[in-house]
């Protein structure tokens, strides 16, 4: 049970940013970052902050049209926010959510699709160019996982507030401040949020890029990004946890343990760090210590629907369909309105041969899906069932 090839990574579906400055020193950093294990990491370029927030002339022109009312001194934050979500005949405005697309601001603008982190970076850059103040906020959401290529990815979330600067020469048209969130469901959810820095957002971007590289088995590239994330914002637990996963993947188990424990020194309630430490202990033959950690984590997660959901996903991947169904059912009892849980029920029932019930859950998943990508996926599955 313990020895399955499981990895839990931190990714940021959105961003974090704050006006406060993160502490830039950590006593253990030199030993935590082991360049000798990846001697060619510098061959892989890591985007600079300037490259991440750069906008071309077309993007800048869009920002100006979206914000300026009549003159450069009259600014409309609400219209700016609306413009980000709207399609236009010139294809210069709409944005589409793509969970695994980590791109710099200009690429996000031109592609009009990315994950929440990259979309928020784009919105920040556009707002700043048009003379609006922009601030990143981290949303304190419950633990929420997605699965990709055998990895469990723990998602974070941020949103952005844009406002007219406090300047007597500027006129605010309509609301003076607007919150921009690329997950509409989050705007309806009363989760607390805190202001975070642009520096931390950059660290989250590097962390996401590192996670992408790790999932793709590009370990040296992954190290370069995790290293950049850790140096940019040493207090960011996520990058240390993911770096520990990378060390474990290449067999540097002592280095992985040191890194996980450092993440826990930053936040002793980081359950993902604890879980990865437990998995590491199994690989080291320390089963009693692993079991104690696992039981502690289970106790704390028992009421979280996404904990049961991700267990269902793992069981489904392993072909343990009855076990997967049991986990999905527990998740559904705790949250019957989340499309991914409903889709989990649909796919396991389909594999078990209950096509009618599978179709019913697919319809429910479609009803609750909150972005076009997922809606298209569920409609395609329904069409496939109908034609078979």
What ranges in the chain are assigned the alpha helix state H? 29-32, 49-53, 57-67, 77-85, 105-111, 116-129, 184-187, 198-215, 219-232, 237-249, 253-266, 271-283, 287-301, 305-317, 321-334, 339-351, 355-368, 372-387
Element (H or E) spanning 135, and its range?
strand 133-139
Domain regions of the chain by residue span: 36-210, 305-387
DSSP 8-state code for residue 91: S
In angstroms, rounded to a whole number, what is the distance separating the alpha carbons of residues 268 and 360?
42
What pTM did the predictor assign?
0.76
Q: What is the pLDDT along the chain (388 residues), one digit of tens a residue?
A: 223 334 556 666 533 222 222 333 333 444 799 999 999 999 999 999 999 999 999 999 999 888 775 556 567 788 888 888 773 334 444 566 676 789 999 999 998 878 889 999 999 999 999 889 999 999 887 777 777 777 878 888 888 999 887 654 444 455 568 888 887 555 545 567 899 999 999 999 999 999 999 999 999 999 999 999 999 999 999 999 999 999 999 999 999 999 999 999 999 999 999 999 999 999 999 999 999 999 999 898 888 888 888 789 889 988 999 999 999 999 999 999 999 899 999 999 999 999 999 999 999 999 998 777 788 889 999 998 888 7
Which class in CATH covers the domain with range 305-387? mainly alpha
DSSP 8-state code for residue 37: G
CATH of domain 36-210: 3.10.620
């Amino acid at each position: 049970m313990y020895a399955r090839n499981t990895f839990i990574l931190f990714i940021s579906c959105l961003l974090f940013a704050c006006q406060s400055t993160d502490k830039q020193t950590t006593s253990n950093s030199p030993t935590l970052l082991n360049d000798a294990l990846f001697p060619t990491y510098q061959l892989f370029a890591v985007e600079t902050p300037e490259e991440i927030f750069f906008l071309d002339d077309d993007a800048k022109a869009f920002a100006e049209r979206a914000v300026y009312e009549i003159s450069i001194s009259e600014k409309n934050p609400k219209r700016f926010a609306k413009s980000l979500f709207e399609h236009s005949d010139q294809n210069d405005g709409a944005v589409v959510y793509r969970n695994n697309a980590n791109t710099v601001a200009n690429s996000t603008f031109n592609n009009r699709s990315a994950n929440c982190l990259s979309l928020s970076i784009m919105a920040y850059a556009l707002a700043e160019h048009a003379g609006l103040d922009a601030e990143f906020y981290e949303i304190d959401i419950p633990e929420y996982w997605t699965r990709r290529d055998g990895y469990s990815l723990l998602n974070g979330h941020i949103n952005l507030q844009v406002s007219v600067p406090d300047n007597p020469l500027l006129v605010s048209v309509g609301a003076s401040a607007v919150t921009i969130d690329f997950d509409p469901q989050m705007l309806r959810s009363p989760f607390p949020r805190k202001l975070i820095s642009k520096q931390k957002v950059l660290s989250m971007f590097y962390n996401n890029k590192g996670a992408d590289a790790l999932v793709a088995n590009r370990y040296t590239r992954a190290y370069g990004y995790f290293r950049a994330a850790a140096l940019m914002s040493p207090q960011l637990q996520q990058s240390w946890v993911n770096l520990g996963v990378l060390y474990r993947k290449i067999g540097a188990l002592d280095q992985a343990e040191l890194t996980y424990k450092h993440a826990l020194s930053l936040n002793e309630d980081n359950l993902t760090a604890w879980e990865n430490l437990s998995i590491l202990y199994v690989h080291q033959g320390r089963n009693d210590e692993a079991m104690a950690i696992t039981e502690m984590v289970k106790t704390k997660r028992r009421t979280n629907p996404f904990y049961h959901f991700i267990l269902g996903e793992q069981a489904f991947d392993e072909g343990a369909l009855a076990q997967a169904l049991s986990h999905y059912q527990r998740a559904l009892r705790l949250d019957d309105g989340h499309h991914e849980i409903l889709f989990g029920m649909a796919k396991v029932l389909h594999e078990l041969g209950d096509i009618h019930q599978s179709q019913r859950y697919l319809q429910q998943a479609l009803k609750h899906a909150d972005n076009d990508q997922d809606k298209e996926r569920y409609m395609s599955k329904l069409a496939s069932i109908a034609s078979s």
